[in-house]
Amino acid sequence: MTLTAQLPEALRGVRLDGRNALVAGAGRGIGLAAAIGLAQAGAEVYLASRTPAELERAADSIRSAGGRAHPLVFDVTDTGAMQAAVARIPNLDILINNAGGNLPEPFLDVTEEHLDRILDLNVRAAFLVAQAAVRKMLEWSDRRSRGGAVINITSQMGHVGAPLRTVYCMTKHALEGLTKSLAVELAPQNIRVNSIAPGAVQTPINRAAWDTPAALKALLELIPYGRIGQPEDIGRAVAWLVSDDADYVHGQTIVVDGGMTLYPEFARGG
């Protein structure tokens, strides 16, 4: 993905000049799209991932298009490394809390090792990244006038249930709860907190889920809008939601899924 795509007409007025943004899980997929959307709007972006080569490519693509990007290599589950990296950011206005993972398997086959791995990544690390980022935001002497924004990237699975995804659904529901509680607690500091819940999005981690014509057809039957989401769909939502245009949107979830979380029979026309 490159920075060559232009913001749609409706978003060309969105500007984030002078803002610093941290994107966790920024090496590819939704995180990279979010970073690109923020850079297109003028933010200086700090890209966090544990994969140096991916981060360098992402940062280079943003810089080559005139944006400002800085790679930060760390694993979000390594709390000490994460906190040290966040502390090195000069100041922070925006957090996109995107790092996460999934191990689809039947409920009765979930091992403690797999349970702990996904809980550690999707819940514990997300909480601690938010905590470190908000502490950094509050170092700004006049945060109440400048404002700040946190977006937790959750999932449509944070609003429904699904077979083979009991742990994933549990963790994404937890992030939705974190979003609401943080929104209440941080409002007095003028830090807005919201979540974006993507549906089926064409990312490297998801491609295997619809790698046959039959699987793709079955998936599309569940999406009223008739197409699979692209990372850019999430990136545009991120850029708008952290901007001043969304100043009164607080403690909410924007589900970006082409209508997939609607009653499935609606998508089938029944």
Rounded-to-integer distance, Cα 77 and Cα 169, Å: 19
First to last CA, the chain: 38
Core vs surface per residue 66-92: b (16+ CB within 10 A) or e: ebebbbbbbebbebeebbebbeebeeb
Q: How many helices (H) and strands (E) does the chain have?
A: 10, 7
Query: b/e per residue, 195-208, with b = 16+ CB within 10 A?
Result: bbbbbbbebeebee
3-state helix, strand, coil in the chain (%, to 5): 45, 15, 35
Residues annotated as catalytic (active site), given as ranges: 168
Q: DSSP assignment, residue 266?
A: H
Say if residues 79 and 86 touch (Cβ distance below 8 Å): no
Alpha helices in 24-111 (DSSP H): 29-40, 52-64, 79-87
How far apart are the C-alpha atoms of 124 and 137, rounded to whole Å?
Answer: 20
Q: Could you give the C-alpha distances from 165 to 61, 171, 217, 242, in angstroms and in order?
A: 34, 10, 21, 30
